[in-house]
Amino acid sequence: MSSLYERLGGEKAVNAAVELFYRKVLADGRIARFFDGVDIDQQIAKQKSFLTMAFGGPNNYTGADMRNAHKRLVAKGLNDSHVDAVIENLNYTLRDLGVPEKEVKEVAALANSVRDDVLNR
Amino acid sequence: MLKFEDRSVDLRPGETVLEALERAGINAPSSCRSGNCQTCLHRAVEGVPPPESQVGLTKGQKALGFFLPCVCLPPSPLTIARPDDVGARRDAVVREIEPLAPDVIRLRVDADDFAYRPGQFLELVADGDLRRHYSLASHPEDDPFLEMHIRLHKNGRMSRRLGEFKPGDRLHVAGPSGTCFYEGVREDQDLLLIGVGTGLAPLYGVLRDALKQGHRGPIRLYHGARSRDGLYLDDELKVLSRTRGHVDYRPCVLNPNAPAGGEVAATVLHAEQDVKDSAIFLCGGENLVKRLKRDFFMRGASMKNIRSDAFTPSS
């Protein structure tokens, strides 16, 4: 059985998803404020690392990086409801791209696995 | 063979450039270590980085030798530098200095062997320690000089210094830097050039380069200024717009009676609804660049099609 990353289509799938996903996130009134003033170019690269991880692709994920990257946002009130919103947008993105429900759930579970690191707890 | 700046770095078989830099004790930031986050970005100043170490970078970055050390196993010798390294200072001589508008001058300097792409910027150095970044409006194949358009600030140190310059005076230049140039654009793509004030300088360079490279798609150049005399290339761009059918010059001057108040960002956002397939260049103050980048991205423009250069005031 091939890996989740292979079933999704690997790097091509990440490239197809990243801008769609980030557009949804920025358009989502629940979470958009956490991205105020950020540089979109740099964010796209960061979102690509996140999606690669969530798609089960090659990564060197460290909880410490994730914690450091979100510390400032936790101080601004980032909580579980915002992580839920991000995962919801990820689900919509994958459905828009025609990804089957089974894989959508697997990606959501991987994204969810970093929740505690993101929220620094 | 791997060199970091002037220093030889030992590279073991199977080792990435990032691992070799770290083992040599060179401070090289990194994060994902799998070629995605671009935290470790460096530039090859000699040699060619393998294509797999440039995945995800823009065509402009690739053309300049940028690559990701964390996924780079170089098959041939490389000399690399930090991404913001502008290289050695070179001698330059003032050739011409002319007013373009009440607070804008055109500075032309001569410098030997200064390779650049129109739209990139250089570091201009006066008196050894006075340094500022200015974009290049000249074209290396047509102009024997480097041309900059410089806004003069009443209390600016460089502005005061520039006021004293005359032809023959010596200064230094370093660089070039920046990826705001005509690369990776399809010749039939809609080309949107949007700038405020001296943000016209890099756009003028890009426009000339696009025409020289045979760009066939429609080109719309928006230039924003506070008042009429800030449209400092008005005559020339009007002529160009008349003689080249696909070039459309759209000056925007602040005016309460004009649509959108004559404000360039509002004018552009009103006029350019469909940008999904456009190549976009944004040059001007940080707020303008950020706002348009975000709005165009949200309208469906891909980030790989948006190039920008945000001017930041010197502190």
- Chain B nearest-CA distance from A62, in A, is 8
Q: How far apart are CA A83 and CA A109, in angstroms?
A: 12
The conformational region for residue B163 under phi > 0 = left, psi -120 to 50 = alpha, else beta, is alpha
pLDDT over 70 at A46, yes or no: yes
Residues of chain A contacting B40 with CB distance shorter than 8 Å: none
pLDDT of residue B315: 58
Q: How far apart are CA B216 and CA B237, in angstroms?
A: 18
Chain A with chain B: Cβ pairs closer than 8 A: 48
ipTM for the complex shown: 0.91
Substitution target in B19, B22, B37, B68 with the highest count of A β-carbons within 10 Å is B37
Instruction: Write down the residue that tokens 């994204």 correspond to.
Output: A111
Each residue of B204-255: pLDDT tens digit?
Answer: 999 999 999 999 999 999 999 999 999 999 999 999 999 998 999 999 999 8
Phi, psi dihedrals of residue B126, rounded to the nearest 5°: -120, 145
Between chains, do A45 and B303 touch, taking CB under 8 Å as contact?
A: no
Tokens found for residue B269: 């956002």
Residues of chain A contacting B32 with CB distance shorter than 8 Å: 49, 52, 59-61, 65
Phi, psi dihedrals of residue B76, rounded to the nearest 5°: -140, 165
CA B171, distance to chain mean position in Å, is: 21
Q: Does domain B2-81 have CATH number 3.10.20.30?
A: yes
Residues of chain B contacting A39 with CB distance shorter than 8 Å: 290
In this complex, the residue of B32, B293, B303 whose CB is nearest that of residue A49 is B32
Its CATH architecture, for the domain B90-177, is Beta Barrel (2.40)
Tokens found for residue B129: 């320690």
Q: How far apart are CA B191 and CA B227, in angstroms?
A: 25
Cis-peptide into B176, omega within 30 deg: yes
> What number of other Cβ atoms are within 10 A of residue B56's Cβ?
19
What DSSP element (H or E) covers A42?
A: helix A40-54
Q: In this structure, which CATH number among 3.40.640.10, 3.30.70.270, 1.10.490.10, 1.20.120.530 belongs to the domain A4-118?
A: 1.10.490.10
Residues of chain A contacting B297 with CB distance shorter than 8 Å: 19, 23, 26, 40
pLDDT of residue B256: 87
In this complex, the residue of A23, A46, A57 whose CB is nearest that of residue B37 is A46
Q: How far apart are CA B192 and CA B305, in angstroms?
A: 10
Give the 3-state secondary structure of residue B247.
strand
Q: Report pTM.
A: 0.89
Between chains, do B33 and A60 touch, taking CB under 8 Å as contact?
A: yes
Q: Does domain B191-311 have CATH number 3.40.50.80?
A: yes
Each residue of B162-200: pLDDT tens digit?
Answer: 888 999 999 999 989 998 999 999 999 999 999 999 999
Residues of chain A contacting B31 with CB distance shorter than 8 Å: 49, 65
Residues of chain B contacting A55 with CB distance shorter than 8 Å: none
Domain boundaries defined on chain B = 2-81, 90-177, 191-311
Q: Which residues contact B45 (CB under 8 A, 6 or more apart)?
A: B65, B79, B80, B81, B87
Quick one: average pLDDT of A112-116?
95
Between chains, do B293 and A40 touch, taking CB under 8 Å as contact?
A: yes
Q: How far apart are CA B56 and CA B68, in angstroms?
A: 10
- Kindly give the parts of chain B with pLDDT less than 50: none
DSSP assignment, residue A76?
T
Rounded to 5°, the CA angle A72-A75-A77 comes to 115
In this complex, the residue of B33, B294, B300 whose CB is nearest that of residue A40 is B294
Between chains, do A49 and B55 touch, taking CB under 8 Å as contact?
A: no
Substitution target in B30, B34, B36 with the highest count of A β-carbons within 10 Å is B36
Q: What is the torsion angle, in degrees rounded to the nearest 10, for the CA atoms of residue B199, residue B156, residue B253 and residue B197?
A: -10
* Confidence tier at A60 by pLDDT (50, 70, 90): confident
Fold match, B90-177 / B191-311? no
Give the 3-state secondary structure of residue A94.
helix
Q: How far apart are CA A121 and CA B116, in angstroms?
A: 49
Q: How far apart are CA B282 and CA B290, in angstroms?
A: 9
Nearest CA in chain A to B32: A60
- Pick A37 or B10 by higher pLDDT: B10
Residues of chain A contacting B33 with CB distance shorter than 8 Å: 60
Between chains, do A60 and B32 touch, taking CB under 8 Å as contact?
A: yes
Domain boundaries defined on chain A = 4-118
> What number of other Cβ atoms are within 10 A of residue B226's Cβ?
12
Contact B68, B35 (CB under 8 A): yes
Tokens found for residue B28: 């090289």
Quick one: average pLDDT of A92-102?
96
Substitution target in A14, A33, A48 with the highest count of B β-carbons within 10 Å is A48
pLDDT of residue A1: 64
In this complex, the residue of A41, A46, A60 whose CB is nearest that of residue B34 is A60
Amino acid A16 reads: A
Q: How far apart are CA A24 and CA A38, in angstroms?
A: 16
Residues of chain A contacting B305 with CB distance shorter than 8 Å: none
Contact B149, B100 (CB under 8 A): yes
Q: How far apart are CA B119 and CA B135, in angstroms?
A: 6
